[in-house]
Chains A and B, each alone.
Chain A
Amino acid sequence: MKDDYLWDSSGEPDPEVQKLESVLGRYRQNQPAPEFDQVPEIRPVKQRRGFFNLRWSYQLGAVRPPFCLP
């Protein structure tokens, strides 16, 4: 197929694509990986349930049944 070289560099080489690869290759990524070991550890923030939250949950639970009755 005519576009095989463009697709996966197989088949008969397309001189125009080769030329573009050669010219544009100067912009290719060549940076090594950053020092990810040096990045401080990141932990997802979890919401803490404090005493007052628990108390409100308890009170809401206590008043809920009468409203739920049909």
Chain B
Amino acid sequence: MERQAVTVWPVTEMREEDSLVSAARAGDRAAFGRLYDRYARMVHGILLARVPPHEVDDLVQEVFLSALRQLHALRDTSRFGAWLGTITRNRANDYFRKSIPNEKVTEPVDENQAESRTTNNADEREAALILAVVRALPEPYREPLILRLVEGMTGPEIAARTGLTHGSVRVNLCRGMQLLREKLGEPGKGPS
């Protein structure tokens, strides 16, 4: 995935965020709480693209506590989102180093396995199946699609939070959606 620092986002929003990061670095925990409110969906989405869903909530909290401990090391406050994204991806990688390798989401989707993890509820089963298909997509598409379809973030918001360009997010969203449509069109995978 192409990563660049230039992202169009309202200037007031960026200034406010810089001051929040600076305040949090100076020990203002309320400011850090507001950063959590802004970035929790991004962290949750990045993790959901990589680790089993039932592990995500705990890992979100771990990522933010880790970020709080490391915040003094962040030199450029305007890169907080990209920095937090890196911490999140590293935490997801650590999860797999410490757990069973078979659970890695980049492996082909086993529909029976995905189904067995859900209850008999048809909606839950359908959601688990579709999520498993999204998680089996190539990495550049998986993350923006989950941030858009699961977390409800818009493309410009994804770009601003992750530090990616509008162009790369838009391309990855469109190509990912096209691929997802193809996969869901295959027998037994489509939404009812």
> CB within 8 Å of B: which residues of A?
3, 6-9, 16-17, 19-21, 23-29, 31, 33-34, 36-37, 39, 41-42, 44
Chain A residues, Cβ within 8 Å of B126:
23
Residues 108-138 of B, flagged 1 when their CB comes within 8 A of A and 0 if not, give 0000000000000001101100110010000
Query: How many of chain B's residues have a CB under 8 angstroms from any CB in A?
Result: 46
B150 within 8 A of A: yes
Partner-binding segment picked from B8-16, B53-61, B84-92: B53-61
B68 engages A31 (CB within 8 Å): no
A23 engages B191 (CB within 8 Å): yes
Indicate whether A24 sits within 8 Å of B149 (C-beta atoms), given known contacts A6-B173, A6-B174. Answer: yes
Indicate whether A6 sits within 8 Å of B177 (C-beta atoms), given known contacts A24-B127, A36-B32. Answer: yes
CA–CA, A62 and B154, complex, Å: 64
Residues 18-60 of B, flagged 1 when their CB comes within 8 A of A and 0 if not, give 0000000001011011001100110111001000010001001
B174 engages A29 (CB within 8 Å): no
CA–CA, A26 and B104, complex, Å: 22
Indicate whether A23 sits within 8 Å of B123 (C-beta atoms), given known contacts A6-B148, A29-B44, A33-B36. Answer: yes
B3 within 8 A of A: no
B181 engages A28 (CB within 8 Å): no
B65 engages A34 (CB within 8 Å): yes
B65 engages A39 (CB within 8 Å): yes
B155 engages A8 (CB within 8 Å): yes
Chain B residues, Cβ within 8 Å of A21:
149, 152
Chain B residues, Cβ within 8 Å of A20:
130, 149, 180, 191
Chain B residues, Cβ within 8 Å of A34:
36, 61, 64-65
B140 within 8 A of A: no
B68 engages A9 (CB within 8 Å): no
B173 engages A3 (CB within 8 Å): yes
Indicate whether A29 sits within 8 Å of B41 (C-beta atoms), given known contacts A6-B173, A8-B156, A42-B68. Answer: yes
